[in-house]
Amino acid sequence: MTRLIGVRKKNIAIFISGRGSNLKNLIKISRKKKSIFNISLVVSNNLKAKGLTLAKKYKIAKKIFDYNNLVYSEIKILDELDKYKIELICLAGFMKILTKNFIVKFNGKIINMHPSLLPKYKGLNTHQRAIDNNEKFAGCTVHFVNSKLDSGKIIIQKKVRIFKNDNSEKLAKRVLKQEHILYPKAVKKVLSNL
Ligand code: GRF
């Protein structure tokens, strides 16, 4: 917990598995004067996640769990969340499914960014599936995490037009831009209601 001129910044943890562009964007927002949150911990299941270099660069604590033993890893993660007084977990490209037990322990305080207009296109390859189905819109959604994949209550969504000449790479790029606008908004919204 950090105090800045009377404003208590809330501690959040970001869980990643790969690139970390959402992490980078959230770090940038968190370092603004008026930010209401502080990224205190980065968790990854992947030692080689590119996003981990950001934790080093911005001097944020990072913990890597190999998940060979899921239950043990989650117990250890819960310890770390406690140690860093984490009030909200943001999944950002985190490729492991959390157990029901873990989700219940952090009830209502885990959110995820998903690259589709949920409830459509849960799971992987969302953009290609949307293109293949001749959808007019793709998009992104931030939702609460419950024990069913990509099925928790929706917090906020943004539509992105699919063009005739789109392929999944082009579309993913445009959606990612919107993810970077949407995720900080969702974090602020959820934290304001905690
Ligand atoms: C994003 O497209 C997000 O919607 C999905 O995984 C991707 C993570 O990208 N859940 P990054 O690691 O934040 O760059």
CB atoms within 10 A of CB 126: 25
Could you say which of 114, 127, 143, 180 is catalytic? Answer: 114
pTM here is 0.95
Confidence at 3, pLDDT banded by 50, 70, 90: low
Please tell me the distance between residue 55's alpha carbon and the centre of ligand 1 in angstroms.
Answer: 16
- For residue 64, with 0-12 CB atoms within 10 Å meaning exposed, 13-18 middle and 19 or more buried, which class applies? middle
Mutate to test the pocket of ligand 1, among 22, 27, 111 (most ligand atoms within 8 A of CB): 22
Q: State residue 8's pLDDT score.
A: 85
What rounded mean pLDDT belongs to the chain? 95
Q: Is the peptide bond before 119 cis (omega within 30 degrees of 0)?
A: yes
For residue range 62-106, list pLDDT tens digits in order.
999 988 899 999 999 999 999 999 999 999 999 999 999 999 999
For residue range 101-150, list pLDDT tens digits in order.
999 999 899 999 999 999 999 999 999 999 999 999 999 999 999 999 99
Q: State residue 6's pLDDT score.
A: 59
Please tell me the distance between residue 180's alpha carbon and the centre of ligand 1 in angstroms.
Answer: 10
Q: Which of 43, 110, 48 is nearest to 76 (CA)?
A: 43
Looking from the CA of residue 50, the nearest atom of ligand 1 is 12
Q: Which of 148, 94, 73 is nearest to 118 (CA)?
A: 148
